[in-house]
Chains A and B, each alone.
Chain A
Amino acid sequence: MSTPSPKGRLTRDEVAHLAHLSRLAVSDQELDLFAGQLASVLDAVAQVGKADVADVAPTTHAVPMTNVMRPDVARPSLPRDVVLAGAPAAEDDRFRVPRILGEEA
């Protein structure tokens, strides 16, 4: 994350950086729109800072959760062709992924 802007506001560059981290291509027009809207949203949500939460434990989940394990037993799964039928691209009985390495690699 780049240097924080004052009062939790987001600059246009910070929004662009967050979009990049989120794997979102955004247009110049969207950057302008989001920077303005997120500024007002951040102002509103910053109210959580008013709460006195010294010694308060966070609640991550309404139901107390423990790590859930099941026996390591093979079970039937969906047929491969049925799963691949919904994919945008498949090849040799697998999902086809765009190339991962760039030209320079």
Chain B
Amino acid sequence: MSADLTTTSAADLSSALQSGDLSSAEVTRAYLDRIAAEDGALGAYLHVDAEAALASAEAVDAARAAGEELGPLAGVPLALKDVVVTEGVPTTSGSKILAGWRPPYDATLAAKLKAAGTVLLGKTNMDEFAMGSSTENSAYQVTRNPWDHSRIPGGSSGGSSAAVAGGLAPWSIGTDTGGSIRQPAALTGLVGHKPTYGSVSRYGLVAFSSSLDQAGPMTRTVLDAALLHEAVAGHDTYDSTSIDCPVPVLAEAARRGAEGELAGLRVGVVRELGGEGHADGYESGVLDRVREAVALLESMGADVREVSCPAFDLALPAYYLIAPSEASSNLARFDGVRYGLRVGDDGSRDLDEVMALTREQGFGPEVKRRIILGTYALSAGYYDAYYGQAQKVRTLITRDFTAAYADVDVLVSPTTPTVAFPIGTRVDDPIAMYAADLCTLPASLAGVPAISVPCGLSEGLPVGFQIMAPALADDRCYRVAAALEAAQDAARGHRLLDELGRTAPQGAA
């Protein structure tokens, strides 16, 4: 057990809590102290209620002392992205339009975590309605990367990634629509897994793009991700897109993977995602680390080959038509009537005017731009050329995955083309910003699981390695990721995250 509780893995915290070596109150207090000291510089949290967190922790400690049977996660603190609805706890989805809203119910995944006895430290910052790749689009604050405070922590789950990487939470739940778990995990040196679409309930997640949104874990280790994933997965009758199948055994897959045996595993390196001669802005340092990771898998017995998925080249334009189209529909619910902000209701204006003013003041520029784009793509005369065509491209992408998985067990690529970029450098250029999700979009559009695991540093900043698997084969992602993590940790003698603050400049805020 590390002397510093705020760098310890959640699995180790869980063991220490179960054995009585630690109390939940001790662990929770350590995190709250660190949040108080560090979050002013990072801006990871939108809401922290220290009193409520300590009360939850003390209740778990009392139950354990009374001999009650508790689950393995009982007493372990966590953070939730502010897109997860939490009863009585402010939930804004990073938007002014929901400022001050305290939901009257819990999202299914929040209810599961509450029932498991986890302690909610707070709600983390995010790009407004999960639209963004840098957490610069929050209506409240910019979040900074713990490795270098002058850079972005990824997005839209950047508050979650900064909190976990910075030692302000042992683990967190994020959501991934086009890469918003994997990309911020990659840019901050974390493990982030987007589960098979439909395997974690979306009930109580503030919807962005309903056919793509999926919640998942953001953690310091592969085993932690598997444990948290198992806790939130499962069928939910409240979500009509929820898959009715047993929760896969993930932690066991991670433990087995850490033993490092990959003989017979067929690994496909996706040519279209950063292969030789690709000109989409992939940094050489990123490609070097990814090649080293592939070589490591090969040294553990994996059979590596190149695979071509030609439709992946169209994932970015397809995504940026489908997601805004669904968003323009989903965000119609923010009408200033049932919850949140209402502007201009002074008796002189009718409903349409009040709604338009409310939405003008409640939504930020990225959200407005995507609503307008989605309205355009869905409008008569353009539907077939844009939205309809994009949905057909989605079929081609799914076919590419199916064809690839006939020959290989997993597909791999960089998680992102570059390391974390400086704050402000892409904020006025939507196309440059969207390119940050280039590698993560195909798995989102096909609904297959994908994990990002750290694979080293480039220019002192973390690089992520993406492993994709067929639908419902999330355990395969964990097995391969754990093998890679264990081999890398053994080679360097410590976790990559332990280098935070030692090798990277933490630029002035």
Contact = CB atoms under 8 A, between A and B. Distances in A.
Interface of A: 1, 4, 8, 10, 14-15, 18-27, 30, 33-34, 37-38, 40-42, 44-51, 53, 56-63, 65, 68, 70, 78, 82-83, 85-89, 95, 97-102
Interface in B340-356: 340-342, 345, 347, 349-356
A14 B376 CA distance: 9
A70 B377 CA distance: 33
A42 B318 CA distance: 11
Interface in B66-112: 101-105
A88 B160 CA distance: 29
B330 interface: no
A19 B372 contact: yes
A85 to B, nearest CB: 7
A53 B118 CA distance: 48
B430 A37 contact: yes
B149 interface: no
Contact of A46 (B211, B317, B376): B317
11 contacts: A21-B375, A21-B379, A22-B328, A22-B371, A25-B359, A30-B368, A44-B431, A57-B392, A59-B398, A62-B211, A99-B350
Contacts of A68: 240
Contacts of B372: 15, 18-19, 22, 24, 34, 38
A88 B365 contact: no
A8 B373 CA distance: 12
B306 interface: no
Contact of B104 (A47, A51, A57, A85): A85
Contacts of B448: 62
A15 to B, nearest CB: 6
A19 B369 CA distance: 9
Secondary structure of the A contact surface, majority rule: loop
- The 5 A-B pairs at the shortest CB distance, nearest first, are namely A62-B447, A58-B391, A88-B342, A25-B360, A53-B392
Contacts of B321: 45, 48
A26 B241 contact: no
Interface string B312-349: 00101110110000001000100111111110010101
B197 A63 contact: yes
A95 B389 contact: no
B17 interface: no
A37 B426 CA distance: 13
Given A58-B392, A62-B447, A63-B241, A47 B317 contact: yes
A47 B314 contact: yes
Interface in B168-224: 197-198, 211-212
Contact of A97 (B197, B351, B398): B351
Contact of A102 (B198, B350, B430, B445): B350
A26 B102 CA distance: 28
Contact of B356 (A4, A23, A33, A41): A23
A86 B104 CA distance: 8
A51 B314 contact: yes
A95 B338 contact: yes
B104 A58 contact: no
Contacts of B347: 99
Give the interface size bracket for B toward A: 35 or more
B316 A44 contact: yes
A38 B369 contact: yes
B265 to A, nearest CB: 25
A56 B395 contact: yes
Contact of B350 (A37, A47, A50, A100): A100
Interface centre among A18, A40, A98 (most CB of B within 10 A): A98
A34 B364 CA distance: 12
Contact of A65 (B104, B241, B345): B241
A35 B211 CA distance: 28
Given A33-B365, A99-B351, A48 B317 contact: yes
Given A24-B368, A86-B340, 20 more contacts: A1-B381, A1-B382, A4-B381, A23-B356, A24-B359, A24-B363, A25-B356, A41-B431, A45-B386, A47-B317, A48-B314, A51-B314, A59-B392, A62-B445, A62-B471, A95-B337, A97-B337, A98-B350, A98-B353, A99-B350
B390 to A, nearest CB: 5
B406 interface: no
A61 B447 CA distance: 8
Contact of A51 (B241, B316, B335, B396): B396
Contacts of A53: 389, 392-393, 395-396
A41 B360 CA distance: 21
B455 interface: no
Contacts of A59: 391-392, 394-395, 398, 445
Contacts of A86: 101-104, 338-340
A82 B243 contact: no
Contacts of A20: 356
B380 interface: yes
B389 A48 contact: yes
Interface in B415-436: 430-431, 434
Contacts of B508: none
B182 to A, nearest CB: 16
